[in-house]
């Protein structure tokens, strides 16, 4: 598919064209996957201030090792297999957090994170996945040792949004920085999760360019395992309170395009943000429900409860698809080529069976 064709499709208001493209989607998949996780918001401070964020807090918080370990052990008992470590970008630029880290015996947040992820591998059957904003090449290299995969939303390639409410006060949302990190992860052969945030003032061309950028990077490095198509949700009190949420048809069209452009990459939508429409999106190319947790809430969208796994099963089976648990690293990346020896051996020791 060419860029111009994709833009034209997104702009089209002809229902027949939407059906025509929907028919191009291969619907013969066997499974819809999901990951059972615990969400660990290590710190809610962040150097950025995105116009849609309610995760960020001014308070320089830092979870203590025991608080983190308690969640990990509980999650392990409940059969969770993913430990999602999340925190605001460059939290150790904050003096109080830096002091807290020092008092725990760590020089910076990455050292602390490494310690916790190392503990996770040694003491549970959970596999770490980190999503904490921009990381340098060296930080990625270090974290690869203890992570099954790493994530960073591209969100959008639009530089224009850096001057508008969504990203005006968020230096880390510079698309060049994000593209650089995704490429660095590729160079390091780290299985990677990225995605688009839809409804933050981007136009059709920018959505298409973002999808083609991901495709271009993936063709070079082959490391992108999934792309999340995340819809902006209005929340009271945020700077973007008056923005409109993307419509179901807009989401449907973007998902169709994502599948047609990104082909072998999984397409994920967060089921808690798409309760009414998520099942229909399976017809448009979605094949993964992402991480759901029986224990912790979605701290990025705390108003949106996770559906029960049984609900995801019902939504999937009604269309003839089996719901299948996956690890934070997709089966096709479970090899020594993509994982550190340590993470690879851990997965083997868990008795995980890789299926075609
Ligand atoms: S980078 Fe993430 S945590 Fe920080 S303000 Fe933006 S959305 Fe919130």
**pLDDT tens column, 209-246:** 999 999 999 999 999 999 999 999 998 889 999 999 99
48 CA to centre of ligand 1 in angstroms: 6
Indicate whether 8 belongs to any domain.
yes
CB-CB neighbours of 167 under 10 Å: 26
Indicate whether 31 belongs to any domain.
yes
* Residue 190 near ligand 1, beta carbon < 6 Å: no
* Residue 55 near ligand 1, beta carbon < 6 Å: yes
Where is 156: in which H helix or E strand?
none
Q: Which long-range contacts (CB under 8 A, 24 or more apart) does 186-190 make?
A: 186/217, 186/218, 186/220, 186/221, 186/222, 186/223, 186/224, 187/137, 187/221, 188/137, 188/140, 188/141, 188/144, 189/221, 189/223, 189/337, 189/338, 190/140, 190/144, 190/147, 190/149, 190/150, 190/223, 190/338
Indicate whether 109 belongs to any domain.
yes
User: Which atom of ligand 1 is least distant from the CA of 133?
Assistant: 1
Query: Could you tell which of 55, 232, 233 is best to mutate to test the pocket of ligand 1, judged by most ligand atoms within 8 Å of the CB?
Result: 55
Helix/strand/coil for 2:
coil
Give the chain's domain count.
1
State the pTM of this model. 0.95
Q: Rounded to an integer, what distance in angstroms lies between the CA atom of residue 293 and that of residue 306? A: 7
The full DSSP string for 118-152 is HHHHHHSS-EEEEE-S---HHHHHHHHTT-SEEE-
Tell me, what CATH number does 223's domain have? Answer: 3.20.20.70
Nearest CA to ligand 1 atom 7: 53
Indicate whether 355 belongs to any domain.
no
* Residue 56 near ligand 1, beta carbon < 6 Å: yes
**pLDDT tens column, 12-34:** 999 999 999 999 999 999 999 99
Range of the domain at 91: 3-339
Indicate whether 350 belongs to any domain.
no
94 CA to centre of ligand 1 in angstroms: 15
Indicate whether 176 belongs to any domain.
yes
Tell whether the model's pLDDT for residue 248 goes beyond 70.
yes
Indicate whether 347 belongs to any domain.
no
Where is 94: in which H helix or E strand?
none
Q: Rounded to an integer, what distance in angstroms lies between the CA atom of residue 105 and that of residue 64? A: 12
Indicate whether 170 belongs to any domain.
yes
User: Which atom of ligand 1 is least distant from the CA of 88?
Assistant: 3
């Amino acid at each position: 598919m060419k860029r111009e064709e994709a833009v034209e499709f997104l702009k089209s208001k002809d229902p027949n064209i939407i059906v025509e493209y929907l028919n191009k989607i291969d619907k013969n998949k066997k499974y819809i996957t999901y990951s059972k996780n615990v969400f660990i918001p290590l710190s809610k401070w962040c150097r950025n201030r995105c116009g849609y964020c309610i995760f960020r807090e001014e308070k320089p918080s830092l979870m203590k090792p025991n608080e983190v370990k308690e969640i990990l052990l509980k999650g392990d008992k409940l059969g969770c297999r993913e430990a999602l470590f999340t925190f605001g970008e460059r939290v150790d630029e904050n003096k109080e957090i830096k002091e807290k880290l020092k008092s725990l015996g760590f020089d910076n947040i990455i050292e602390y994170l490494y310690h916790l992820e190392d503990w996770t591998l040694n003491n549970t059957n959970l596999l770490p996945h980190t999503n904490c904003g921009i990381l340098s090449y060296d930080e990625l290299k270090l974290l690869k040792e203890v992570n099954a995969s790493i994530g960073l939303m591209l969100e959008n390639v639009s530089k224009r949004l850096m001057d508008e409410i969504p990203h005006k006060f968020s230096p880390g949302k510079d698309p060049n920085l994000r593209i650089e990190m995704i490429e660095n992860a590729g160079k390091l052969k780290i299985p990677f999760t990225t995605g688009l945030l839809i409804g933050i003032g981007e136009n059709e061309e920018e959505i298409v360019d973002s999808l083609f950028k991901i495709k271009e990077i993936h063709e070079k490095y082959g490391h992108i395992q999934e792309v999340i198509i995340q819809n902006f949700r209005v929340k009271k009190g945020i700077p973007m309170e008056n923005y409109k949420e993307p419509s179901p048809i807009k989401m449907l069209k973007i998902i169709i395009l994502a599948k047609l452009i990104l082909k072998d990459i999984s397409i994920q939508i967060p089921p808690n943000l798409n309760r009414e429409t998520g099942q229909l999106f399976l017809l448009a190319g979605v094949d993964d429900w992402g991480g759901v947790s029986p224990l912790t809430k979605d701290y990025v969208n705390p108003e949106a409860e996770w559906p029960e796994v049984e609900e995801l099963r019902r939504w999937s089976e009604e269309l003839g698809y089996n719901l299948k648990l996956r690890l934070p690293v997709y089966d096709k990346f479970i090899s020594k080529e993509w994982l550190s020896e340590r993470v690879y051996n851990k997965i083997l020791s868990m008795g995980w069976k890789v299926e075609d």
